[in-house]
Structure 1
């Protein structure tokens, strides 16, 4: 089995599992939809599992969003899953490809699309906002919007970001 096939297979499997979990969870939404103008949207790395659903709810229909994803090995897997949700990606992180990613993000915001960032990822520290997201919003004079979800019953992974996966 080729590496590319394996990545694509795992991405589809995770995508299906995410949908199954989402469909079996009770949801209560709070807050307003994102503005029609460009936004920098932030969410914690540990909430990545169901974040595409939160964006589907709070995002504007027909408006594009680009999720910033690292060049690391696991970033490729995440990028494939994100694309299955109909979101676009921009690749780069604070440690690799930062300047290219920042230039791409500037262009995306100029085109009136949203840039979605995990400000504490891909390596932490836990719930610490990196300068890049704030700098991006300041330079382009756009709003920072926060997306989050909580769960009463969940599995918590033993990882630096304390990733949670809601129980059905």
Structure 2
């Protein structure tokens, strides 16, 4: 293992990196103009005690949290590996709680934690193409959690007039200071408690298209080209639905 990776395995190093990232994000936010479109959608659902799951692509997760209001507690799912820990520490410094787990490994445990958070009145955030892609391709995890909990899915996207796009699998976008940005929130989508596998697949495909279209339209306002979704594999990785009867 390379030296810098060994160092980043240390808790003190992860804490330092998260501190520096959080400071940068606060500066970038404070020196920029951000518009939030549709916050009333989240606030009204929250005030009505309707559980909701906000979904944004992994590449937009930094920008999507820029417009979050402190009137609603947000909890984000994060994987407990090195990069996930740094991201979680960063978001904790910005007032966002962490739910540890992965939709791929130990999915049942992560599902139970998210359902508990929803029942406690928190809004949870899932990047439906995470943790490792394919980019801008929705997996079934968010639909499964919504089905078990009675939560609605809320599509969210964001764009900035100036951002650094990393060469990572998701093309992560980091907003730069002195820019202009928009967070766009669409009306919630109901997930039926019981439906056929074909119906859930149709819902998954429809949500994926909607979120991609929202992102493309918002990027177009800034004259930006949206990264293309990753090519589909022969079939999306199978995700076994978690038995709702065993959820807390």
Work out whether the TM-score is over 0.5.
Answer: yes
* Equivalent in the alignment of 2:67: 54
- 1:73-108 CA-to-partner distances (Å, cap 9, x unmatched) read 200101101111112111111222211110111111
Q: Which has the larger radius of gyration?
A: 2
What SS is found at the alignment partner of 2:157?
coil
The residue that corresponds to 2:132 in the other structure is 123
CA distance in 2, matches of 1:25, 1:78: 22
Distance 1:165 1:80 in 2: 17
Aligned pair count? Answer: 164
Specify the alignment match of 2:90 in structure 1. Answer: 81
Give the distance between the partners of 2:94 and 2:176, measured in 1 at CA. 21
- Contact 1:69–1:90 (Cα < 8 Å) also in 2: yes
- 2 CA distance for matches of 1:49 and 1:32? 17
SS of 2:153's partner is strand
- Deviation, structure 1 residue 10: 0.7
Rounded to whole Å, the distance in 2 between the matches of 1:15 and 1:117 is 20
* Structure 2 residue ranges without an equivalent (≥5): 1-6, 178-248
Report if the CA contact (8 A) 1:106-1:136 is conserved: yes
Divergent runs of 4+, >4 A = none
2:142 to 133, 138, 155: 133
Q: 2:161 aligns with which of 149, 152, 160?
A: 152
Highest relative contact order (Cα 8 Å, sep 6+), 1 or 2?
1
Shift of 1:18: 0.6
1:4 aligns with 2:38: no
Match 2:105 to one of 96, 103, 110: 96
Structure 2: distance between partners of 1:134 and 1:8: 33
RMSD between aligned residues: 1.8
- Shift of residue 124, structure 1, vs aligned partner: 0.4
SS at match of 1:147: strand
C-alpha distance in structure 2 between counterparts of 1:165 and 1:76, whole Å: 18
Name the SS of the counterpart of 1:27 in structure 2: strand
Determine the C-alpha separation between the residues in 1 that align with 2:20 and 2:112: 33
Q: For the Cα contact (< 8 Å) 1:22–1:50, is it kept in 2? A: no
Q: Which residue of 1 aligns with 2:122?
A: 113
State the Cα distance separating 1:66 from its structure 2 match: 1.5
